[in-house]
Structure 1
């Protein structure tokens, strides 16, 4: 009895501890941002209301019932949300620059690639991998089926667009208009393969937003659940858009902070280009430009005269700057990275 009473007294504390270990996902992670931009389409439905912040706009867009919200723009001075039933891919929609607003479009409705099995794919592809036109989901001709939109409200079975209502490993599919071919995959590519990376992915600007273990990435313009220094305004040339995998600090490949409060960051699995190194880089040998990424000279002592350690050995200092990890910066068995010059270690 005493033990039960103690457990009941401790229960609120345990609940608070569990709550502190979890982090609520910010709804903005589902959106692609375009600063200073709005969309115009008079004949299509839109709604408007004052809101305190952008996150509230995103929440409302995701939860609307009877109104399919595909995008919204937020008036920064008037604090007003404008929810749209269309996006930039809708026929007849025009965009125009307007510094007073920021446009947010739901990723599921705008990107033509998938994460994992593609259960959340909401794109507009309607042709299978062999070129057959897809059958409309609300039709049972030429193929009878049970995936009618009226019976599958949460599957977004619109028009004859490719979808994956069954969660098959093959990704989005559809019934075809060919009477002898019942259904077929639409061969929609993985977001990790849409755009390949060269070198270590410093210039990668593709749409992958999950890590190699499947964790969703944290937006670069947010500080939750992990605080960091890579704010897009501070690093405007690093491509820190939304929550896409990037490599702003020269790691071995693109990475991101994660939405898992216990995993600060992880690498992303991005396909390498066939010609993985950028051979158009203008190299220097007698001096270095900018931060010295293109320096390929033979200086091998620090400013204080200390000999440099070879990049392909791990003694006396252990490191991961090996020729294998940085192929584009390797040269005859040695790796030369100019912006290490002058540090109080034996790297150059």
Structure 2
């Protein structure tokens, strides 16, 4: 309470200064840096830790680590460029952003980036080394210039050279050279502007750019970061040049006019005989597709018209008709000379021992937890503890690395699945956020194997609809078990998993703490010493202990398994890739899937249970009749024949069509469904939430399989979400996609929803929960290349759903 009063008495200017201090650091959840030199402090907040780093006198503080539960702060002279960084839960690792900048101000005396090659491409010599060049009079060494950051072999300007940063080279014939580091104020771009970090925020047609963290006037799925900052023009999706969403409601996005840099572009280490990762560096001479079709010359427009030209995509090696990957595809490809086949992938050998693309491997059995350090974890989680999407292991964008399927052939480094190839403490991944290299993943340890963790900071589940879940289940029944990570647990347990009594949350003895008190978290039920989860730790409720030698520990609270939305008791197979071309689901692993039938029992559409008495489906499924008596709903079955004992049949009481001409409808059942391990609602999304492009989502149904097998059984398929901006390109769906719709699918085809799947669910996995993001609506054929499926975007209708349910209950 005293701390709260003190905070309220702080002048607004001081609060603003505090925000600026924290903004000077790039933060990574779950990281630990190895450093022999460090200072330790006991502080109550991450801000105090940042201030300790800013005023450190023992050394130049480049980063700090803050352990919230222990309230420990470690200031460090090193950063991830100098020392090894390990993954460790419950740690916040922050690096001073000055040491992350890859451009220079003025002559670059403050440059602290990682460029280590000269203008002519020579590798820099380490500043502390005397070979092959001994620094003249030993003037340019770390000891003589302690504030010049002369660690490693990074380009620096310790002597104020007018030409900017330089280094001694490893070439015995060239003593030193300047480095080609872009000026921070230089408004120009190399190649397609993928690395453009300038501050132009007006488009070529004069529109002002919309902020990347804004969702008005245009909703989008791009996640803001240190890269997608403010409203600056950027190129996050492989377009020919930087662009932005605009502030004009009538113009969703527009290209920006940015001049090309006069300095040399970054060099690509060319791969001439094989390809690593997605093959973006492949410069070989293969000119036929995997099916044997001849490739079209990139500079021509016949028979295929396109914009993947050498002018639009410089630096991508688009000479002649050789297979290339200019736009972040899975592997090298080309347009074909066959008028009937626009493009195809090429069969380029993979560098290393792993044959073929990693996405072609068969799906493993689903696991939703890991044992030990998770080295053997083969689950399907693709999200970090802070909610960031994982980067594909085969990709070198945005983070270059050596944890590839070729280097670790036994680690199952497929797609962007969380794994632990290097024996760290838990499964992890590189992130798609350019400012955060990697994080631990949002995966729990298996029962009886507890580990550290941090909260998932993004909310994808609609808050007002959480009330529906409270109505579903008895609060008294929930009192002795936890739902999910136990953030809502209010039970009586007050002992740790090792049998130690918990310290009262309001007490400061035997352990002092300021971050977690009844005053700081008044809505977390912390009035006594009961186990709670005020920080949404992924591993569940915990408490400070009465043991002086153990500050805090987890509590052993059983799960309320299977009785919360979006968390099926039977874990899905999560077949990713090829209902047309998909795979047969594990029985009852998608318990919200319903079969919409005629009153004679014939299946014709799908739907999703979202509450015990409510189903969401598509309006076009109700075209034959607007009378509820014309239809029935079947729940709890795996077969289309619906002959299982678990089957529940319900007649309809009411049909409610979506607003306007939208393809969404609510069905009210005559009586509520019985919620059990085979019948369970899916969660609804946060209002207006836009699923980030590339997110892995799943469609289920009993629809047309076009001879791919599994007829009569529930099938599933997974594929990535495609941003509306991309889906509306002429080669895709040519501006047919509206704001309240979304696209998902593989652009090469092979997997899709089809006839009979209409009205069914498109669910995406987040926070260990499946969230209903789409209602299957329409498509141009089934599983056709360049024609992804179209789904009604449920997040646009959460208010409408909530109001209709309340009005008609």
Q: TM (normalized to structure 2)?
A: 0.24
Q: TM (normalized to structure 1)?
A: 0.49
Which one has a larger percent helix, Structure 1 or Structure 2? Answer: 1
